[in-house]
Structure 1
């Protein structure tokens, strides 16, 4: 038996000439067991052992048929998504629990096939959900399997072999200027009037509004700095404050003068509301409950729906206030690049894909400009021909 080097595990050469190595590895259930690897040379076995030892030190269990999709999903949520935002972790856990595990959770990880992925598509669709939800389930499974490939638990990611359902584009719902004005009048007595006005005037997302701090607002300069968001992630996480999702979402945006006036009125009302009580606003939030605590998204939605009814305007989602902002700006001829920066979209294609239907004026102006250009060129050519 040849002497092994430090860190190799146990390595020796059999009588038939093959090399054998063994070391302790983790099982999916967390227990340790001895595993052997084989090779034609000592260096080949040592290489395999080093990979096993490194995986064990990182807490990565060994590959094998004992890994089910459900078992690996638990491992992935515990170890593979820790670097992601809490909201993303929560969404992944919900999709796995709701759709993936009930459908393919019992399938051994290494035996997962494209037919299983298509089965998942069908199972999710049968629940009467949108195509976007089917795409989300597919994306989560694909991300999980990509990590399993990196951990060398499986040799291929079957999620990449199956096309996800195509999402049909739907026209975004938005209010007209008259609708927005009617809603603004109806919401004026409401204590969160400034929040709603900010939503359809500047296009901030709900989480950006609920996480906005007074330290991020410069009313003298007429600017708001989007540096924090707030989300409700269920009982496991509760309310979570954190930075915006992307670098483009972290932005500084100007606010209309009328919105600045509304915010000044709101700030004075907030101070008066808490004055003389034992309550405060420790998080420095612009929009709080009357107790100075963060606003629950579900309560904001109920207030919004009640104001829609009293204003007599078309019923839309709160997020559609953001679409309303973009639509109104495009109607006034604001360039797409400016709208992109205001809304915090990561790419221009997101802006143009979402709002191509509300840019007919800009398209018509482009066609008219081209017509003028070509007409002028044709006239010049005719004049030169006459002179000749």
Structure 2
């Protein structure tokens, strides 16, 4: 049996079964460790050993070829996902990995995970009754994790990206008409959270953004509102987190209807505070009857009660945001301005989501050309 020694950090030898093995010795957290790499030729294992030595020199983790999908995903969750994701998103990723991906794919070696294995996983989850949207989310989490594995040289291809996602037939989006929007505001008039619904509809705040709004973020004199945080439930508690994207952190001008509602809400809140036997002042604009933050589940429940009272068809709270954008676009507001108001990350997202307004805008543009050219 031939044995070839390299430097004091690695060695290469031919095994009795005809395969080659490269062994790497290194220090990790004060402990001397050893990893092995295998291949059919000496050159193959030499390349693997050289790459591992370089990665170790730059502080990257040394990973054995025997690392499983389970091992990698657990490490990825802690090293990459937890520091970079918002708490609720991290918890969502962790749930998908621990309850679904790991039981199905976890025992497979990471380097051997194939697109057809991921495709079978997708098909099996759909057959088990999960919605196409949910299964697509599973695939997206795995694809994101494997993108990092590719970047680190742990896999040569992204098996999740090569697997076909489920076909999704999205129902047409539901948008409030101007008449429905006015009727809804008439219905919530006098409600203690009237200003919340008014602001959500007038400037298109996401639910978490509205609930995370603090009086320090509102300038009633200048008539502006700044989105700095969003309120989310994480680990059983309500916490303030960074906005969804960098562009989500924004300052918007308040329409008169929203500004008037906020001023009236400020007065109403001060009266509630005086009358309450206990008030926990946390600085939020929209609070419970004792000053604490409002749980999104409670707000959603109250929204549906008011929506039903208004006689409107089923809508999500998020559809108030869609209603704002749709109304702005229909009035001919520049899509770039709508993008800034909503805090969209890309103009294509704004144009794609509200493409239903395009016929109205096209008709308006044609009428303007008629006016310029002096036609009838």
Q: When the two structures are superposed, what TM-score results if normalisation uses the length of structure 2?
A: 0.83
In structure 2, how many angstroms separate the alpha carbons of the residues matched to 1:118 and 1:134? 11
Residue 262 of structure 2: aligned partner: 263
Runs of 5+ consecutive residues of structure 1 not aligned to the other structure: 377-388
State the Cα distance separating 1:98 from its structure 2 match: 4.0
Structure 2 partner of 1:221: 222
Cα separation, 2, equivalents of 1:70 and 1:152: 17
Q: Which moved more, 1:83-92 or 1:258-267?
A: 83-92
Give distance in 2, aligned partners of 1:336 and 1:49: 49
Report the CA distance between 1:48 and its aligned residue: 4.8
Residue of structure 2 in register with 1:68 after alignment? 68
Deviations 1:108-156 (A, max 9, x none): 3222111111112212323444433222211111111122233433332
- The equivalent of 2:35 in structure 1 is 35
How far residue 346 of structure 1 moved from its aligned partner, in angstroms, is: 1.4
- Counting only pairs closer than 5 Å after superposition, residues 192-341 of structure 1 correspond to structure 2 as 192-235=193-236, 238-275=237-274, 277-282=277-282, 284-341=283-340
Cα distance in 2, alignment partners of residues 245 and 369 from structure 1: 38
Cα deviation for residue 49 of structure 1 reads: 5.9
Tell whether the 8 Å contact from 1:99 to 1:120 is kept in structure 2 after alignment: no
Tell me the CA shift for residue 167 of structure 1.
4.1
Aligned residue number for residue 80 of structure 2: 80
CA contact (8 A) 2:6 2:12 kept: yes
Cα separation, 2, equivalents of 1:230 and 1:48: 44
Which has the larger Rg? 1
Please identify, of 356-365 and 318-327, the stretch whose mean Cα deviation from structure 2 is larger.
356-365
* Equivalent residues of 2:201, 2:324 under 8 A apart: yes
Deviations 1:304-326 (A, max 9, x none): 01111211112200001111111
Which residue in 1 is equivalent to 2:17? none
Find the aligned partners of 1:36 and 1:107 in 2 and give their Cα distance: 18
Determine if contact 2:37/2:64 at 8 Å carries over to the other structure: no
Of the structure 1 ranges 248-257 and 356-365, higher mean CA displacement relative to structure 2 is found in 356-365
The 1:61–1:126 alpha-carbon spacing in structure 2 relative to 1, beyond 3 Å, is farther
Paired with 1:37 and 1:133, the residues of 2 have a C-alpha distance of 37
Distance in 1 of aligned mates of 2:227 and 2:239? 16
Q: CA deviation at 1:23?
A: 0.4
Alpha-carbon distance between aligned partners in 2 of 1:345 and 1:268, rounded to the nearest angstrom: 32
CA RMSD between the two structures: 3.3
* In 2, Cα distance between equivalents of 1:143 and 1:289: 38
User: In 2, distance between residues paired with 1:310 and 1:280?
Assistant: 31
Alignment correspondent of 2:53: 50
> Residue 35 of structure 1: CA displacement?
3.2
Over 3 Å counting, the alpha-carbon distance change for 1:200 and 1:129 in structure 2 is farther
CA deviation profile, 1:41-66 (whole Å, cap 9, x unmatched): xx9798456346448x65x352233x
Residues 213 and 2 of structure 1: CA distance in aligned 2, closer, same or farther (over 3 Å):
same
Q: What secondary structure is seen at the aligned counterpart in 2 of 1:82?
A: helix
Mapped to 2, the partners of 1:131 and 1:103 lie a distance apart of: 18
Of the structure 1 ranges 286-295 and 160-169, higher mean CA displacement relative to structure 2 is found in 160-169
| Residue 138 of structure 2 is aligned to residue 134 of structure 1 | no
Cα deviation, residue 295, structure 1: 0.7
Query: Could you tell me whether the CA contact under 8 Å between 1:103 and 1:123 is conserved in 2?
Result: no
Counterpart position of 1:9: 9
Superposition TM-score, scaled by structure 1 size = 0.81
8 Å contact kept, 2:279–2:290: yes
Gaps of 5+ in 2: 15-19
Paired residues of 1:37 and 1:48 also in contact (CA < 8 A):
no
Count of matched residue positions in the alignment of Structure 1 and Structure 2: 359
Task: Give the distance between the partners of 2:79 and 2:366, measured in 1 at CA.
Answer: 55
**Stretch of structure 1 that moved more, 85-94 or 202-211:** 85-94
Residue 95, structure 1, aligned to residue 89, structure 2: no
